[in-house]
């Protein structure tokens, strides 16, 4: 059976899970030179490259990120003001100290009761401003973050769609899905969460230290004394956290592949009663992921523990020295309360910085994976000065073409053919002989390892890729439909086609009456992959697609092998009409299917072992 490379599954018949299990799964793609080595060798240069890459990624949003930063930084003065009412009440209402000069200027010689009310109102005003600022920051952060995420996801999706079929053959779909769906969010987090929090934390830290030092420099020195320990701990845990986070991502995307595969093949699973087996595979994969996550969480908890203990020691030191200072009269009780509030707030930014440094490692691991995908170059490339090709005549020549999927074991060897424009060629051969591979080279799903293929006398690699692919209409053994309406499925070949053209194509494919009889006619939805239609019905719809495309070259890969004899006869009829005036390659196992072809070739073990006169290269 031929598997189409279009559906993202391997042509070697191995299922997605098998390839994910057996292949070199989920290794971060060593993409461009910029990202090579990075996942393996953790070094300062690689870190620097990743940071530069991130900066480049975020450059278009710098103004918005700056806005976010400004909003976040406005929180600092508010944080500084929060404990001030408490200090005033303690010192000037409960104690006997005069109010601070600034307050005295605004409210000269007021009673204690008025001072308490003023302090309370001040407290509410600061809280209100803090909340408003919080709201504005959240709104802006959400907008900027979603924009960054959407843009990156769009680019990843665009890129992944253009990667060569061989990439998808090897990788399967889940790893790419994971990178687009989950890894891409890391950049958003770094842009709107980590960077602004980090910078704001540094800013707040500086401001609070300054105010504390103004009150009592000794206290500021004690409070700051713990920061080397904090920095050291962030440095020490950084690598471990990144490594573990990377491991978690690999295992999670691997586990997801089990779900995706089992659900997409649910009929096979149920038919063979393998639900239990699939469940066990699922549990095994998730079990591995679970332990990796537990290890990661334990590492972050250990890290938080170190942070928490260090800050507690710092706070205790400030409390001790601060109390002594109150006792000796160096500072007031209100000053001590103010400083203690600052110290707890001072450690909040320090903790934020170190916590962010921890989660940053997880984000960086994800960002690496997303960028690696983005930097993966397609094997099949378009030349910079590629030729346009409005409509080909249809002459195709193979010149000593050899091809190996893995670059080593050839699947096609020294194939030479000359197919005149409008010639219908029947391709026969045993299973695994290389027939599908032969036609897959025509529209450049893969490029030959050796030799060249010419269309109208020009190497396929000279043409613009989209133009080249536009010259082919393909009908596969297992027609692939999308989960939309019948009309949209037919129009997939030419999205600009009007309803009359779609109906005309359906008529030509002999499927109009069937469609007209459906509950919603052409607007009937066909279900995922067209499962609500029979194999023959799907095949006819894909033929209508080919009629609508009206391409000069037609590839028919065993299009009737899954339908009954009557349906086959009807479909063949339609197909021969479709072939008229088009260069056609028709693959079939049943030789009788090829009777209407003008020429015939036979493939065995990757070689063309027989060919009729009309396709001889020297004819």
Ligand X SMILES: Nc1ncnc2c1ncn2[C@@H]1O[C@H](COP(=O)(O)OP(=O)(O)OP(=O)(O)O)[C@@H](O)[C@H]1O
Q: Which residues contact ligand X by CB under 6 A?
A: 1-2, 10-12, 169, 405, 411, 429, 431-437
By C-beta, is 191 or 433 nearer to ligand X? Answer: 433
- 454, β-bridge pairs: 397, 459
Nearer to ligand X, 10 or 559 (CB): 10
Looking at beta carbons only, is 244 or 436 nearer to ligand X? 436
| Token pair for 419 | 């197919």
Q: Which is nearer to ligand X, 169 or 278 (CB)?
A: 169
| Residue with smaller CB distance to ligand X, 222 or 433 | 433
Answer left, alpha or beta for residue 538, where phi above 0 means left and psi between -120 and 50 means alpha: alpha
Q: Give the list of residues 6+ apart from residue 472 with CB closer than 8 angstroms, or none.
A: 442, 443, 551, 553, 554, 555
Contact 126, 78 (CB under 8 A): yes
Structure tokens at 291: 């332990």
Q: What is the smallest separation between the CB atom of 455 and ligand X, expressed in angstroms?
A: 20
Smallest distance, ligand X to C-beta of residue 262, A:
22
- If the CB atoms of residues 14 and 147 are measured against ligand X, the closer one turns out to be 14
Beta strands in 471-518, from DSSP E residues, in sequence order: 472-475
Nearest approach, Cβ of residue 400 and ligand X (Å) = 18
At its nearest, how many Å lie between ligand X and the CB of residue 535?
17
Smallest distance from ligand X to CB 413, Å: 12
Measured from the CB atom, is 166 or 194 closer to ligand X?
166
Question: What's the min distance (Å) between Cβ of 283 and ligand X?
Answer: 30
**Tokens read off for 53:** 């890459």
Nearest distance in Å: CB 447, ligand X: 14
502 or 603, CB closer to ligand X? 603
Distance CA 548, CA 496 (A): 11
SS3 label, residue 32: coil
Q: CA 232 from chain center: how many Å? A: 34
User: Closer CB to ligand X, residue 12 or residue 523?
Assistant: 12
Least separation in angstroms between CB 282 and ligand X = 26
DSSP 3-state assignment of 403? strand
- Tokens representing residue 498 in the block: 């009007």
Instruction: Tell which residue, 56, 72, 83, has the closest CA to residue 134.
Output: 72
| Nearer residue to ligand X within complex by CB, 196 or 432 | 432
Instruction: Decide if 340 contacts 87 (C-beta within 8 A).
Output: no
Which residues does residue 584 pair with via DSSP β-bridges, in sequence order?
A: 424, 554
Query: Measured from the CB atom, is 25 or 420 closer to ligand X?
Result: 25
From the CB of 431, what's the least distance to ligand X, in Å? Answer: 4
Q: Which two tokens stand for residue 430?
A: 């045993």
Smallest gap from Cβ 9 to ligand X, in A, equals 9
The residue among 295 and 589 lying less far from ligand X, judged by its C-beta, is 589
Which residue, judged by CB position, is nearest to ligand X in the bound state?
11
Whole-angstrom CA distances from 340 to 197, 316, 421 are: 22, 10, 87
Nearer to ligand X, 111 or 161 (CB): 161
**How far is the C-alpha of 374 from the C-alpha of 179, rounded, in Å?**
10
User: CB-side exposure of 510: number of CA atoms within 13 Å?
Assistant: 16
Q: Token pair of 453, please?
A: 């293929």
Q: How far is the CB of 168 from ligand X (least distance, A)?
A: 9
Least spacing, CB of residue 517 vs ligand X, in Å: 33
Q: How far is the CB of 589 from ligand X (least distance, A)?
A: 6
The whole-angstrom distance between residue 106's C-alpha and the CA centroid of its chain comes to 58
Q: Which two tokens stand for residue 36?
A: 């090579």
User: Which of 21, 45, 57, 37 minimizes the C-alpha distance to 370?
Assistant: 57
Residue 333, class by beta-carbon neighbours within 10 Å (0-12 exposed, 13-18 middle, 19+ buried)?
A: middle
Bridge partner list, 608: 603
Nearest distance from C-beta of residue 355 to ligand X, angstroms: 45
Q: How far is CA 296 from CA 28, 183, 315, in A?
A: 19, 17, 28
In whole angstroms, give the CA distance from residue 453 to residue 403.
Answer: 12
Structure tokens given for 413 = 């060897």
Choose between 177 and 605: whose C-beta lies nearer to ligand X.
605
Residue with tokens 């060629």: 425
CB 436 within 8 A of CB 169: no
Give the span between the Cα atoms of 400 and 100, in whole angstroms: 93
């Amino acid at each position: 059976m031929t598997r189409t490379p279009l559906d993202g599954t391997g042509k070697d018949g191995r299922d997605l899970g098998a390839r994910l299990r057996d292949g070199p799964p989920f290794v971060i793609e060593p993409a461009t030179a910029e990202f090579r080595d990075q996942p393996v060798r953790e070094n300062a240069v690689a870190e620097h490259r990743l940071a530069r890459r991130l900066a480049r990624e975020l450059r278009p949003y710098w103004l918005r990120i700056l806005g976010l930063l400004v909003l976040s930084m406005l929180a600092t003065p508010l944080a500084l003001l929060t404990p001030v009412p408490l200090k005033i009440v303690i010192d000037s209402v409960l104690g006997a100290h005069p109010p601070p000069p600034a307050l005295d200027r605004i409210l000269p010689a007021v009673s204690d009761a008025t001072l308490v009310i003023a302090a309370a109102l001040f407290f509410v005003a600061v809280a209100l401003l803090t909340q408003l600022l919080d709201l504005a920051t959240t709104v802006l952060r959400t907008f900027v973050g979603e924009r960054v995420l959407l843009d990156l996801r769009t680019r990843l999706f665009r890129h992944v769609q253009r990667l060569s079929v061989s990439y998808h053959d090897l990788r399967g779909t889940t790893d790419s899905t994971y990178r687009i769906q989950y890894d891409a969010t890391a950049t958003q987090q770094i842009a709107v969460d980590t960077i602004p929090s980090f910078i704001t934390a540094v800013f707040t830290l500086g401001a609070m230290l300054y105010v504390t030092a103004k009150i009592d420099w000794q206290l500021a020195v004690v409070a700051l004394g713990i920061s080397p320990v904090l920095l050291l701990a962030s440095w020490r845990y950084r690598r471990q956290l990144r490594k573990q986070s990377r491991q978690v991502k690999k295992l999670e995307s691997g586990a997801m592949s089990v779900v995706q595969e089992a659900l997409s093949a649910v009929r096979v699973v149920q038919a063979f009663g393998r639900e239990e087996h699939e469940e066990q595979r699922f549990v095994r994969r998730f079990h591995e992921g679970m332990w990796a996550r537990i290890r990661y969480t334990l590492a972050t908890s250990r890290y938080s523990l170190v942070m928490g203990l260090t800050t507690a020691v710092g706070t205790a030191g400030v409390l001790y020295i601060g109390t002594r200072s109150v006792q000796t009269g160096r500072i007031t009780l209100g000053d001590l309360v103010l400083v203690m509030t600052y110290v707890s707030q001072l450690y909040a930014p320090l903790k934020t910085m170190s916590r962010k440094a921890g989660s940053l490692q997880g984000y960086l691991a994800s960002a690496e994976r997303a960028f690696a995908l983005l930097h993966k170059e397609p094997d099949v490339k378009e030349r910079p000065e590629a030729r346009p090709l409005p409509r080909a005549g249809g002459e195709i020549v193979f010149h000593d073409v050899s091809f190996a999927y893995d670059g080593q074991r050839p699947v096609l060897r020294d194939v030479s053919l000359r197919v005149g424009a409008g010639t219908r060629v029947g391709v026969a051969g045993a299973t695994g002989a290389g027939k599908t591979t032969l036609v897959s080279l025509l529209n450049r799903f893969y490029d030959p390892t050796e030799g060249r293929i010419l269309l109208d006398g020009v190497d396929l690699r000279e043409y613009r890729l989209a133009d080249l692919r536009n010259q082919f209409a393909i009908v596969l053994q297992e027609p692939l439909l999308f989960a939309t309406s019948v009309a949209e499925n037919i129009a997939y070949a030419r999205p600009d086609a009007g309803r009359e053209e779609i109906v005309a194509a359906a008529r030509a494919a002999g499927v109009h009456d069937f469609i007209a009889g459906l509950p919603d006619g052409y607007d009937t939805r066909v279900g995922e992959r067209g499962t609500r239609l029979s194999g023959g019905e799907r095949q006819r719809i894909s033929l209508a697609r080919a009629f609508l495309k009206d391409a000069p070259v037609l590839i028919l890969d065993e299009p009737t092998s899954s339908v009954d004899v009557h349906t086959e006869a009807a479909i063949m009829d339609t197909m021969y009409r479709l072939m008229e005036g088009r260069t056609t390659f028709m693959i079939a196992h049943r030789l009788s299917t090829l009777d209407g072809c003008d020429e015939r070739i036979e493939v065995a073990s990757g070689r063309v072992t027989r060919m009729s006169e009309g396709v001889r290269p020297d004819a």
